[in-house]
Amino acid sequence: MSIPALRPGDRTPNLIFPDLKGRSRQLYLEVRGGPILVAAVPSPNEGEGRSVLSALTRRAGALDKIGAHRFVLMRREPDGEIDSGAIAMIDPYGDGMRLFRPLPEGSDNDADRPAAAVAALDANQRVIALFTTADSRDPVGDAIKVLEVEAKAARAGAQRLVRSAPAMILDKLLPNPLCDALIEAWKADNVEGTVNDGFKNVTDDAVKRNREHVVRDPEMQRTIAQQIGPRVMTEIQKVFNFRSALRFEMLTVLGYGEDRKDFFAPHRDSLRSEQRRRFAVSLNLNEGYEGG
């Protein structure tokens, strides 16, 4: 079975490989906050692999400026110069590098993977973007642009959230095509939103006004759960120390229209018929609005 590549929103596993001096290194133990760049370069001494290493070395100053950690995965020790700020790790069988070198659509042949790739990760080791030599002329430069945005956002500092339950905010839980599909499903079929009065769902203009679409297609339900589950569960375990199995209740697409003055007032999601709930998940499917 081919190892599937990581996608934006996925958390990178703890890469454990020897460095050029034979010492075991671990990704999770080496990072100390700040953006992360991972370069997968199976052949570091030739072709596109050498080009990626050279580009990484030339741009070391830009990466230092934003405080980016750098890791380079390769099959063998490189002959030429390498970014002095990067931790070079030897991945002799290429398993770690496969995580960052996706197979072309319809292929299960490892030989079809791109020659090299560069991944931009956030400080929590989650993939922000992935650039390969098959789809980018300058994967290192493209990754740096993404990391600069990430570093700037981090420098803005924490914001205090008032009058709210403990909240965890994650990016890229659903891919854009799936978000678009859910929005189109809502447009084709939606009804007036309801709230639970303790016994049944009713409309209540004092609490909530919106239009809702319940996802009933089993295949779509499964797709959403498969996207969200693995990405959320690991973070819930870390942040809330909650390790029970997750299950999803009804998946609903909510639409709030400015023309109708739609809203949802403060409320609890754990009363009576809903008391089994432990976490509420809200995902923004689109952009181009204010408030919320």
| Measured distance CA(16)–CA(255) in Å, rounded | 44
Report whether pLDDT(9) > 60.
yes
- What is the reported pLDDT for 2? 65
Give the sign of the dihedral formed by CA 99, CA 100, CA 105, CA 111: negative
pLDDT higher than threshold 70 for residue 1: no
Mean confidence (pLDDT) of the chain: 90
Average pLDDT, integer, range 240-255: 89
Q: What is the pLDDT of residue 273?
A: 57
Q: How many residues does the chain have?
A: 292
Is the dihedral angle over the CA atoms 227, 231, 234, 240 positive or is it negative?
negative
Q: Taking 60 as the threshold, does the pLDDT of residue 274 lie above it?
A: no
Yes or no: say if 28 and 14 are a contact pair by the CB < 8 Å rule.
Answer: yes
pLDDT digits (tens, 9 = 90+) for 204-236: 888 899 999 999 999 999 999 999 998 999 899
Cα–Cα distance, 230 to 30 (Å, whole number): 24
For 187-206, the pLDDT digits (tens) are 999 999 988 766 778 888 88
Q: Which domains, and CATH codes, for the chain?
A: 16-155 (3.40.30.10), 176-274 (no CATH)
Pick the more confident residue, 261 or 165: 261
pLDDT of residue 167: 84
Dump pLDDT digits (tens) for 176-190: 999 999 999 999 999
Amino acid at 267: H
Q: Are 39 and 87 in contact (CB under 8 A)?
A: no
Specify the pLDDT at position 206: 83
